[in-house]
Amino acid sequence: MAGDRPSGPSAALFDIDGTLMDTVQLHTVAWWEALRQSGRTVGMTDIQRAIGMGSDHLLDALAGEDRDRSGDSGLSAAHDALYAQFWSRLSPLEHAADLVRTCAARGMRVVLASSASGKEADVMISALDAGDAVHAVTTADDVGSSKPAPDIVRQALDRAGVPAERAVFVGDAVWDLQSARMAGVTGLGVLAGGGFSREELLDAGAARVYRSPADLLDHLDDSPLGRLSAGELPR
């Protein structure tokens, strides 16, 4: 039906950490050590489930909203320094670059939308080695509030130049799906980050959940992303 066919360009929006890059556990270790150095003991499972938030929301979740916030910049700096030790060894998830390239080859504008800082995102994009297929990037540096707020997804839509109904967002954390839902964008979940179950991602708003980028690529034609690339509405 003509009414089911959106006009104009479409966009594939991707989270980076845990969605395209195998970095969630590295961030977990870096935050665990940064918190330990500040005198806080936080379980790694709790930290892993907070990855995907920006540091503003993450520290609320892990260190408490009633903490002395004067130490936040030091905690973030400690995490950044610890995480930077892994930069030379960062690795994309299997077929993540192929997924990005395939979406671009099908005419979708690929935008990477991450709660990481711009510098961290640059390093990950270099390691992903699919930068020529990326239309734009938006990070926590570009918005007032990071995930689960919808700001990053809305900024990604602006940079893609598409309305919400002509985009699909892919992420590995409930924060990604909540952000996409608040921005009015169809969300897909991947389990590759390891922090959340299929049921949790569905409850957070995912239309479908896939094991990994490779699994989504294998089932791309039958996915909301595939429908979008074919000129149909993703829902």
Tens-binned pLDDT, residue by residue, of the chain (235 aa): 444 555 689 999 999 999 999 999 999 999 999 999 999 999 999 999 999 888 878 998 998 888 888 888 999 999 999 999 999 999 999 999 999 999 999 999 999 999 888 888 899 999 999 989 999 999 988 888 888 889 999 999 999 999 999 999 999 999 999 999 999 999 999 999 998 999 999 999 999 999 999 999 999 999 999 999 988 888 7
pLDDT value at residue 6: 54
Judge whether 123 lies within some domain. yes
Identify the residue whose tokens are 């969300």. Answer: 187
pLDDT value at residue 35: 95
pLDDT value at residue 56: 78
pLDDT value at residue 233: 80
Judge whether 95 lies within some domain. yes
Judge whether 2 lies within some domain. no
Judge whether 45 lies within some domain. yes
Judge whether 234 lies within some domain. no
Q: Do 79 and 182 have their domain in common?
A: no
Q: Do 95 and 209 have their domain in common?
A: yes
CATH number where 34 lies: 1.10.150
Range of the domain at 56: 24-88
Domain count, the chain: 2
Q: Do 139 and 178 have their domain in common?
A: yes
Judge whether 4 lies within some domain. no
Q: Do 108 and 207 have their domain in common?
A: yes
Q: Do 80 and 189 have their domain in common?
A: no
Q: Do 40 and 135 have their domain in common?
A: no
Judge whether 223 lies within some domain. yes
Q: Do 134 and 161 have their domain in common?
A: yes
Q: Do 46 and 75 have their domain in common?
A: yes
CB atoms within 10 A of CB 132: 8
Q: Do 192 and 118 have their domain in common?
A: yes
